[in-house]
Amino acid sequence: MKGKFAVNKIFHYILFMIFILVFIFLTSPIIMLIIKGAAAVPVCLKSKEIRFSIFLSLRTSVISTVFCIVTAIPSAYFIFKTEKFKKIIIQILCIPMSLPHIVSGIALLLLFGRMGIGDFLNNYLNIDFIFTRQGIILAQIFVNLPFAVKQTVTAFEDINKKVLFVAKTLGCNDIQVFLYIILPLLKNTLLSVIIMTWTRALGEYGAVIMVAGATKMKTEIIPTSIMLNMSTGDLDLAIGISAVLIIISISCMLIFEYLFNKGKKYAEN
């Protein structure tokens, strides 16, 4: 027994040491960035250019997130209801998730640029995605929509099938089951998907830079603003903007945790 206790103690000690190393590795760079950037945050917020990039980031990320969620939920439900080729469909839709984001940007540039359907969209629909704010939204959607679909499909798969069967035996049609049974059951999960999709859109850089560029006061969002200030040697501003982005992301996570716990307590009561 003593030998078994000693082995367990050593094992838990090893686990603890590995956890400490991982915790320090993941948190120390972020903590240092926040500490170094905190002093530059007031200066950043006084800059008209940086305020523009923050507001543009918030606006484009919200629009792209709304589009992702509105299309991901019905798409995921269709996949969930599909009996054949479900895994193949999911794998095909998730291809953009496995690509480097800059490659995704090049693919979008080819399709929606002059070599693809860019001229048609511009001439007949008066829509131009290349080096425009619409291009920012397009890039964010392309990168984040597969993530939203996959997470939502996983949430649908976790639903107790007996609940859906009972609802149908009581006379509910598919629309009623979807609206009044499935969506309320997945409320907290969908909220999580919304927050994660939005934070991913807020920090998207690779695809955006290829499609929309990094023109100051036009297509400059927070990530591109960081790159522009780094390239001009203004390290303090770049660090300050990075700290602002981290603060926004952490605030979103805290808000989500609050809403999630509040919704959980409400459901239990």
Q: Is pLDDT above 80 for 49?
A: yes
Please check whether residue 16 lies inside any domain of the structure. Answer: no
The verdict on residue 61 lying in a domain is yes
Q: Is residue 6 part of a domain?
A: no
Task: Report yes or no: 211 and 109 within 8 Å, Cβ to Cβ.
Answer: yes
Is 20 part of a structural domain of the chain? no
pLDDT over threshold 80, residue 261: no
Alpha carbons 17 and 20: distance in angstroms, whole number: 5
- Give Cβ neighbours of residue 225 (< 8 Å, ≥ 6 apart): 49, 50, 53, 241
- Whether 29 is covered by a domain: the verdict is no
Rounded CA-CA distance 33/30 in Å is 5
The pair phi, psi for residue 100, each rounded to 5°, is -60, 140
Least confident of 89-98, 129-138, 141-150, 250-259: 250-259
Paired tokens of 105: 């940007």
Residue type, 144: N
pLDDT reported for residue 233:
77
Tokens 């992301």 belong to residue: 249
CA 50 from centre of chain: 22
28 occurs within a structural domain: no
Percent of the chain with pLDDT over 70: 94
CA distance 189 to 162: 19
Find the domain containing 67 and state its range: 39-268
| pLDDT higher than threshold 70 for residue 268 | no
Sequence length of the chain is: 269
Residue 11 is assigned to a structural domain of this protein:
no
Q: Which amino acid is at 53?
A: S
* Cβ contacts of 192 within 8 Å, gap of 6 or more: 151, 256, 260
- Residue 89's CATH number: 1.10.3720.10
Q: Residue 108 has which token pair? A: 């979008």
Q: Which long-range contacts (CB under 8 A, 24 or more apart) does 260-266 make?
A: 260/188, 260/191, 260/192, 263/187, 263/188, 263/191, 264/188
Name which residue leads in pLDDT, 188 or 265: 188
Confirm whether pTM is higher than 0.75.
Answer: yes
Structurally, the chain folds into a number of domains equal to: 1
Structure tokens at 96: 């953009």
Quote the pLDDT of residue 138: 94
Instruction: Point out the least confidently predicted range of 27-31, 73-77, 83-87, 262-266.
Output: 262-266
Q: Establish if 84 belongs to a structural domain.
A: yes
What's the pLDDT tens digit per position in 157-187?
Answer: 888 778 877 777 877 787 888 888 888 888 8
